[in-house]
Structure 1
Amino acid sequence: MAKKAKKTNSKLEKLNDISLKLTDVEFRYRENHPNAVDGVSFEIKHGEYVTIIGHNGSGKSTISKIIIGVLRPQKGKIEVFGNEVHSSTLTGIRKFLGIVFQNPDNQFIGSTVRDDIAFGLENRQIPQKDMQAIIDKAAAKVGMTNFLDHEPLMLSGGQKQRVAIASALALEPDIIIFDEATSMLDPKGRKEIKQIMVDLKESREKTIISITHDMDEILNADKVIVMNKGQMVKCGKPHEILYDEEFLKSIHLDVPFVSRVIDSLRLNGLNVKNTLDLRELVDEICQK
């Protein structure tokens, strides 16, 4: 049984180091309809980088909405750092969370990057004298220091998402959720955002949860949760998921690019070992 949430000056405390725990969670959008999420249980420790993958309709986006409190499950329990999510704790729990959505244009409030990052700080009633240092630090983490006085809507897709990430980081969340955050970007923009995720992972200061259908993105994760038809059908390390090509095909997920290259090389008589690292594969080919 989850411990009763403790409060200090209306702020929830961390009761353990489990960033997120779902226990037998079920959700359906309408009565007499199939469950969009069906008996899902998993836990994510603080500092982990976890990807939740699945094709359209698998339940991964519904899971995301449940985590941030937009949807309330009909059954099961959600805990954030040991605090059970319900109506009386939701405001406090949301302070643990930072969200980066699919379309950054829908998140912009300010007329400049600086104003946009400041918006969340103003809502948290951060003293004006402290704001600039916080804004500068957040912008520096995502490489946007030189764009603070630019209009967000005039930036590239990758730059816009970096601003959205900076706005989330400025609020010092313990958990950052990337909800299909790279799906609308060009290859350059996707690469930029993936690198920021890796940098955040390596610091181990925050829990990173990425909801995605980008199979190449999961290469950097500590753990992968696979959703299909509302259920968690597999959970493991990236290599445990990606080397099982028959499993991926059975739930209509793409095989990552590096795996397709390896298959093609083997079909053409070049025996190479399994790897998830394209650079490692290139090095091996060069040595043959």
Structure 2
Amino acid sequence: MNKGEKNIIKADKEKNISLSLKHITYRYKPEYPDAVHNVSVDINHGEYVTIIGHNGSGKSTLSKIIIGVLHKQKGDIKVFGHLVTNKNIKTLRKYLGIVFQNPDNQFIGSTVRDDIAFGLENHLIPPKEMPEIISKAAKSVGMEKYLDHEPLWLSGGQKQRVAIASVLALEPDIIIFDEATSMLDPKGKREVKEIILKLKADRNKTIISITHDMDEILHADKVMVMNKGKLVRFDTPENILKDWEYLQSIHLDIPFVLKVALGLKSHGVKVKQTLSEEELVKNLCQLDSKK
């Protein structure tokens, strides 16, 4: 990759929209309905966006189109203002990273160090630069003490953290988490969510997380709601969850704290409908003190 190609995205960071999708459509077979139908959305650089929807709603298909694993059949994709074409897709793909659902399917190397190095080697990073990059990436996910461990002996959460480190080592501008916590235990899920929130706080990467975890969307800047291949909502978590009955009508759950607040109200307890656990507890304590 020459210097001009290397800077194709970096030079256009002032264009606030990191990812623009216009009328994206894809179907797996001619006789099937569209898996993704006419999806248009602009995502600002530095935003944390979650994508929710029931199984078969088109979430993962859309992520694979963005990353270039599947080729859109209609519509346009722009990355920092650059139209993605067959000629430049390999270059633009270098600025996107993806963390998949199953961490066991993402390991190549015999050690954590080797696994992080694999992606760097594919990107032709000079060998003398690799140790520092590997160390920094491992440290960013709390795995610096495990660099010489075999992936086989790591927990699911640790494996997923290594997968994230492998992506971070390549310094992508956009990271997609494709149901990255769905196969983890509660501890592993918490660890991955903490990494995502840390990345959000830095505001130098666009984060797109496809998730079934409705509690995760509370921390997002924006939420995309997919249903039957279509983008049916795109708004802040607060505005999306105001219409919680609609979410349930398309077979989606609601966050636990909202479920508790609604349950209390249905039993005559006068609490505010809130998305904050702290606010709910405070409200309940105030009610108790008035008795």
* Contact 2:262/2:273, CA 8 A, preserved across alignment: no
Provide the rounded CA distance (Å) in 1 between the counterparts of 2:194 and 2:6.
Answer: 32
Alignment partner, residue 109 of structure 2: 110
Provide the rounded CA distance (Å) in 2 between the counterparts of 1:86 and 1:211.
Answer: 24
Q: Give identity over the alignment, percent.
A: 65
| TM-score normalized by the length of structure 1 | 0.94
Alignment partner, residue 6 of structure 2: 11
Alignment partner, residue 23 of structure 1: 22
Provide the rounded CA distance (Å) in 2 between the counterparts of 1:139 and 1:183.
Answer: 22
Alignment partner, residue 198 of structure 1: 197
Deviations 1:225-258 (A, max 9, x none): 1000111101100011122121111111011111
* Contact 2:51/2:208, CA 8 A, preserved across alignment: yes
**Secondary structure at the residue paired with 1:88?**
coil
Query: Quick one: which amino acid aligns to residue 237 of structure 1?
Result: T
**Secondary structure at the residue paired with 2:139?**
helix
Unaligned 5+ segments in structure 1 are 1-6
Tell me: CA distance 1:192–1:237, structure 2 relative to 1, closer, same or farther (3 Å): same
Provide the rounded CA distance (Å) in 2 between the counterparts of 1:80 and 1:254.
Answer: 32
Shift of 1:8: 4.1
Query: Quick one: which amino acid aligns to residue 10 of structure 1?
Result: E
* Contact 1:12/1:93, CA 8 A, preserved across alignment: no
Which consecutive segments of 4 or more residues in structure 1 shift more than 4 A? none
**Secondary structure at the residue paired with 1:183?**
coil
Shift of 1:154: 1.1
Alignment partner, residue 230 of structure 1: 229
Alignment partner, residue 53 of structure 1: 52
Shift of 1:183: 0.5
**Secondary structure at the residue paired with 1:153?**
helix
Shift of 1:10: 3.1
Query: Quick one: which amino acid aligns to residue 92 of structure 2?
Result: I
Alignment partner, residue 261 of structure 1: 260
Provide the rounded CA distance (Å) in 1 between the counterparts of 2:3 and 2:16.
Answer: 18
**Secondary structure at the residue paired with 1:177?**
strand
Alignment partner, residue 138 of structure 1: 137
| TM-score normalized by the length of structure 2 | 0.93
For residues 35-114 of structure 1, the aligned pairs below 5 Å read: 35-114=34-113
* Contact 1:17/1:81, CA 8 A, preserved across alignment: yes
Provide the rounded CA distance (Å) in 2 between the counterparts of 1:129 and 1:11.
Answer: 19
Provide the rounded CA distance (Å) in 2 between the counterparts of 1:157 and 1:279.
Answer: 30
Provide the rounded CA distance (Å) in 2 between the counterparts of 1:135 and 1:17.
Answer: 29
Provide the rounded CA distance (Å) in 1 between the counterparts of 2:131 and 2:121.
Answer: 12
Deviations 1:137-195 (A, max 9, x none): 11111111111111112111111110000000000110110001000011111111111
In the alignment of these two chains, the number of paired residues is 282
Shift of 1:125: 1.8
Shift of 1:111: 1.1
Provide the rounded CA distance (Å) in 2 between the counterparts of 1:10 and 1:200.
Answer: 26
Shift of 1:13: 1.2
Provide the rounded CA distance (Å) in 1 between the counterparts of 2:144 and 2:271.
Answer: 43
Query: Quick one: which amino acid aligns to residue 93 of structure 2?
Result: R
Query: Quick one: which amino acid aligns to residue 102 of structure 1?
Result: Q
Unaligned 5+ segments in structure 2 are none
**Secondary structure at the residue paired with 2:223?**
strand
Deviates more, 1:7-16 or 1:71-80: 7-16
Provide the rounded CA distance (Å) in 1 between the counterparts of 2:270 and 2:95.
Answer: 48
The root-mean-square deviation of aligned C-alpha atoms, in Å, is 1.3
Shift of 1:274: 2.2
* Contact 2:51/2:223, CA 8 A, preserved across alignment: yes
Deviations 1:25-73 (A, max 9, x none): 1111111321111111001011000011100011111101100111112
